[in-house]
Amino acid sequence: MANTIDAEKAVKISSVNGIEVYRINTEKFKTSSIHFFFQDNLTRESVTLNSLLPAVMRRGSERYPTLGDISKQMENLYGATFDCGVTKKGERHIMQFYVEFLSKRYIPDSVDSFKEGLELLYDIIMKPALENGRFREDYLEQEKDKLRILIEGRVNDKMSYSVDRCLEETCKDEPYGIYDYGFVEDLPGINSEALTNHYRKMLETYPLQVYLAGDISDGDTKEVLDRLSGLKRGNMLQLGSGFIEKQPDKPRYVTEPMNVTQGKLCLGFRTNISPQSPAYTSLMVYNGVLGGGIHSKLFQNVREKASLAYYSKSMLEKFKGLMVISSGIEAKNKDKALDIILKQLEAIKSGEISDYELGATVKSMETSLKSLGDSQLNLVDFYLSQTVSGTWDNLTDIIDKIKQVTKEQIIDSARNIKLDTVYFLTSQQDGSGNGQEETGNENR
Amino acid sequence: MKIDKIEYDKAGEVLYRYEHSSGLKAFVIPRKGYSKRYAAFATHYGSINNEFVIPGEAGPVSVPDGIAHFLEHKLFEQKDGSVMDKFSALGSNPNAYTSFNQTVYLFSCTDKFDENFGLLLNFVQNPYITQESVEKEKGIIGQEIMMYQDDPGWRAFFNLLGAFYSRFPIRIDIAGTVESISKIDRDTLYKCYNTFYHPSNMVILVVGDEEPQMVFGMIEAALQKKEPIPEIARIFPDEPAAINKDYTEQSLSVSIPIFQMGYRDNRSDKDGIEMLMHETAVKLLLDMLIGRSSALYNQLYSEGLLNSSFDADFSIEKEYGFSILGGESPDPMKVKERFCQAVDEAKSNGLDREAYERLIKAAKGRYMRQFNSVERIAHSFISVYFKDVNMFDYLQVYDKITFKYVEEIFKEHFDRANLAMSVVKPV
């Protein structure tokens, strides 16, 4: 049983011209999938272009010139899924395109679903619908408008908005503080020529990773390699990950007023531990003890004992070296909640970690890692993330390392962590500021 | 112990089934090669069951809104502390959810399945509720309710249900209100528990790489009640046949109007398979009329009236049914108008047969894809189970369904008189 959880390990098949191809071969799923990840550094100049590009590309290709044509083809392929978009990992901005389809053995007719799926994805990425050599104006203008709506729509989900905003405030003078979907103010200046040039730049210079997951034959793999070998590539862009160490003297306090029923209190921290450091494993366990589940100090003290919140949790941002604590509370309880939260951090620092807290944390992390292999998308993300962090561990190794973490190592991690920013989203009448920074008069 | 093994060759799946003397039915769906194991213990009791007859009592009793969900929270509390902590110590993930007509307790784990399963079987059968802990829970659930008050999609949904129904309790938020939960006490929680948590009103499902013999053996040993009880009398208010209103709106801090609209479905006399047929037909119709490949969606998308947040779905139970189409739009009324036009055109010109053939293929593929995920399997199984069918019956539905049947359902469901719309507007 010991090695079954690594049965779905990603294997690097090829690495040429800044294109890496990985294969995750498993028959346990009913579907297979193909993923393309083009990577850029997250910068103010390219963020909006990067974000607009997949949005326009998804509108049509040479062979499937409209959204409707693409949808029909996916329906014909027994409900295949195609999607694309952007995400950030640390200070990398990643454009992803993927297609997932029923594996050949479950297709009732003789359709070669891998071939068809690859054909569709390849057509969308390599042969977009152009007019006079440029992206179609109508698609561009429509997608600019949709991107504006999407960016403005960030506020609609208060929980994720508050966490993102907290981390943006924490990194406000660093590239990580840039919102992955870009800026509304950039949109009017982007014309189809600029976007087409940007597209060529992506194809030629952005490092590309391709993942093939599911029931993938050698023939399927060869088909992908053959196609990629014909791609014209130039000088590859050099990528960073954005990790930095920082020791703020005192936290910044930021209050954002909004018409909300529930306040969201988020704390942004610098972990000062890089994902490549051996101490990173201790940091993961630290985060688990602090706010990584129902056994954690935050859940037990903010929710269960004080009844102040329905949720209170902590999460790591691995690549950049950040941690965020978030809770939904009544605005009038802000100081009380902040006090209880900070006490939990102090408690870990002073070694108050029970055997139960440590044991439950380690077991729960083990469960999550073992479960990773049960989802194709999570598996792909796991390996992609490791290429960003510059690590290449398999699941069994990570679990072994987690089990060896001691209380002393957790305390060491706790000492490295520094509170950077306290962000509070609150209703207009409770907000003492008007979107402004408050002067931090608390000496924590 | 009698175990039935049912093979579904088309899906490459097997279902094991066992019935306990108390009337409880239990199922195992094996997942070879998966690390995760998932178990659910569910009762046919949800937020809409706020009036019923307690077995052995003469008259009906009314209970505060949100009590099924409140009970879900309280059941995790045991004499020696929260059972959550015991699951946590095993590294597993316990959870629970309450919907309109069911309450589901579950866990997932990758190790020590039998210990986890033992905990689940035990705590769901043994409530330990004190008045003090009830008071404390009101703070936590109060925050949960407030969290949902800021969720525009959730608000649009419940406002739409309130437009569909004048009295039927589906119109009330599952968690109730801060006011209604203030009236909940220990005794009422026990009354609800004693009525609805009898094994004959419940089901157990295990998805994962476990031996059915072992799973059913543990159930046999753990179930405390051995005799079935008669059907529970669930009482619902008389609901007028017509919708309550055709439009409702609310303001929240959102960036763009968020809308949901749909048709209330009054056909509630169907048996299980018919309900699945009906559901599949309406979903196909929604795809044909305004799905991603339809002319209408593509036009509205190009004109900026819809974006990719748009989605459509259909729900049907014995007591209620409705379709919902929703998303973000600068002009929801226009979307409604254009949709109604497309429905009228299809009514006079007929439905697109080619689209039907393509979409049924897509529906079959999407159905198969669910089997990738342990959670999805469990969720699908439980969500249809109390209609007296199981998720594998969709295989029959895909064989049986015809274009002609879909045409009939089209005429029946898409009736302008049953159409309502709910909009959440920016402040």
Put simply, the answer to whether A71 touches B301 (Cβ < 8 Å) is: no
How far apart are alpha carbons B320 and B234 in whole angstroms? 14
Q: For residue B331, what is the DSSP state?
A: -
A330 to chain B: which residues are within 8 Å by CB? 143, 146
Which of B91, B143, B307 lies at the smallest CB-CB distance from A366? B91
- Name residue, tokens 């936590």: B140
Residue of chain B whose alpha carbon sits nearest to that of A375: B373
pLDDT of residue B225: 87
> CB of B299 within 8 Å of any CB in chain A?
no
Chain segment A365-379, per-residue pLDDT in tens: 999 999 999 999 999
Beta-carbon count within 10 A of A389 CB: 18
Q: Which H or E run contains B260?
A: strand B258-263
Beta-carbon count within 10 A of B189 CB: 21
What's the order of all strands across the beta sheet hosting B258-263?
Answer: B247-252, B419-426, B258-263, B321-328, B311-316
Supply A352's token pair.
């108050």
pLDDT of residue B285: 98
Put simply, the answer to whether B362 touches A74 (Cβ < 8 Å) is: yes
Put simply, the answer to whether A153 touches B328 (Cβ < 8 Å) is: yes
Secondary structure of chain B: what % helix, strand, coil (to 5)? 45, 20, 35
What is the residue-wise DSSP string for B206-227?
EESS--HHHHHHHHHHH----S
B94 to chain A: which residues are within 8 Å by CB? 294
A411 and A385 Cβ atoms separated by less than 8 Å: no
Which positions ≥6 away from A108 have C-beta within 8 Å?
A: none
How far apart are alpha carbons B316 and B101 in whole angstroms? 11
**Active site includes B72?**
yes
pLDDT of residue A437: 46
Put simply, the answer to whether A294 touches B366 (Cβ < 8 Å) is: no
pLDDT of residue A434: 42
Interface test with A, best of B74, B110, B306 (most A CBs within 10 A): B110
The amino acid at residue A246 is K
- Name residue, tokens 């992609």: A384
Supply B395's token pair.
């295989």
Q: Give me the tens of pLDDT residue by residue for chain A, a chain 444 residues long.
A: 344 778 889 999 999 999 999 999 999 999 999 999 999 999 999 999 999 999 999 999 999 999 999 999 999 999 999 999 999 999 999 999 999 999 999 998 889 999 999 999 999 999 999 999 999 999 999 999 999 999 999 999 999 999 999 999 999 999 999 999 999 999 999 999 999 999 999 999 999 999 999 999 999 999 999 999 989 999 999 998 899 999 999 999 999 999 998 999 999 999 999 999 999 999 999 999 999 998 999 999 998 898 888 889 999 999 999 999 999 999 999 999 999 999 999 999 999 999 999 999 999 999 999 999 999 999 999 999 999 999 999 999 999 999 999 999 999 999 999 999 999 999 876 544 444 444 333 333
B100 and B171 Cβ atoms separated by less than 8 Å: no
A100 to chain B: which residues are within 8 Å by CB? 369
C-alpha pair distances (Å), B323 with each of B301, B313, B320: 21, 6, 11
B30 to chain A: which residues are within 8 Å by CB? none
Q: Where are the beta strands (DSSP E) in A164-321?
A: 208-214, 252-257, 263-270, 312-317
Which of A72, A157, A362 lies at the smallest CB-CB distance from B358? A72
pLDDT of residue A429: 64
| Phi then psi dihedrals of residue A23, to 5 deg | -130, 130
CA distance A349 to chain B (A): 22
Radius of gyration of chain B (CA): 23
The residue annotated as part of the active site, out of B13, B72, B77, B239, is: B72
B372 and B365 Cβ atoms separated by less than 8 Å: no
A341 and B5 Cβ atoms separated by less than 8 Å: no
Mean pLDDT rounded to a whole number for chain B = 95
pLDDT of residue B269: 67
Chain centre to alpha carbon of residue B369: 19
**pTM for the structure as a whole:** 0.93
Interface test with A, best of B372, B395, B427 (most A CBs within 10 A): B372
CA distance A433 to chain B (A): 18
A3 to chain B: which residues are within 8 Å by CB? none
Mean pLDDT value of segment B156-167: 98
Which positions ≥6 away from A238 have C-beta within 8 Å?
A: none
CA distance B399 to chain A (A): 13
Put simply, the answer to whether A367 touches B372 (Cβ < 8 Å) is: no
Which positions ≥6 away from B370 have C-beta within 8 Å?
A: B376, B377, B380, B391
Q: Does residue A436 sit in helix, strand or coil?
A: coil
pLDDT of residue A198: 98
Strands B61-62 and B77-78: unpaired
